[in-house]
Structure 1
Amino acid sequence: MGTRNFSTGTAPRQSMASSGAAVKARQLAQLQSQLAQLHTNLADTENLLRMTSVQAESMRGLGSWHAGLFMAASKVLGEESIQQQQGSQT
């Protein structure tokens, strides 16, 4: 049984290593792009949440105004209906 002498060239290994490095660099570039997009989306979300908070406070004030108007209208209409009932009874 003899030993065989295989010639192991470095060219295929170098091309595989360089293509692996290119794939890794492309994946890192894609991840960096996605991270930048995520950062932009988070900044937009933060701004939207701030605006929502301001609008919710305004809605609360608007609700208070409406409640006050309904109570005033209820009082006025209630008094008018009482006066009308008393007027019709006499």
Structure 2
Amino acid sequence: MNRQSAAPSSGSAAKSRQLAQLHSQLAQLSANLSDTENLLRMTSVQAEAMRGLGSWHGGLFMAASKVLGEESVREAGR
């Protein structure tokens, strides 16, 4: 009889260990999801900044092209 009473308690201990492990994994998953959410927010902000930077560069290239184009026309007219 002693063996039969030991079996449920060892099964209960195993179940408790599994639940503790699952709880730990769930906590880690939750932390990772929180980190991912923060990284996505930051990526969104950076993407918006990159878009603005691209617009500035495009404007500078167009202005440089216009200035250099006008200088080429002046030099060709001389």
| TM-score interval, normalised by the smaller of the two chains | over 0.9
The residue type paired with residue 57 of structure 2 is H
1:53 maps to what in 2?
Answer: 44
Listed one character per residue, the Cα deviations across residues 42-85 of structure 1 (whole Å, up to 9, x for unaligned) are 00100000000000000000000000000000000011111111
Identify the residue that residue 18 of structure 2 maps to in structure 1. 27
Gaps of at least 5 residues in structure 2 are none
User: Which runs of 4 or more aligned residues in structure 1 lie more than 4 Å from their structure 2 counterparts after TM superposition?
Assistant: none
Unaligned runs of 5+ in 1: 1-9
Q: Distance in 2 between matches of 1:22 and 1:66?
A: 65
Give the structure 2 partner of residue 43 of structure 1.
Answer: 34
**Count of matched residue pairs:** 78
Shift of 1:20: 0.7
Deviation at 1:11, TM superposition (A): 1.1
Instruction: Measure how far apart 1:13 and its partner are.
Output: 1.2
Could you say which structure has the higher helix fraction?
Answer: 2
Task: Give the aligned CA root-mean-square deviation in angstroms.
Answer: 0.6
Structure whose CA Rg is larger? 1
TM-score (normalizing by structure 2): 0.97
**Paired letter, 1:33:** S
Q: 2:65 & 2:24 partners in 1: Cα distance?
A: 60
Normalised TM-score (structure 1): 0.84
Residue 64 of structure 2 corresponds to residue 73 of structure 1: yes
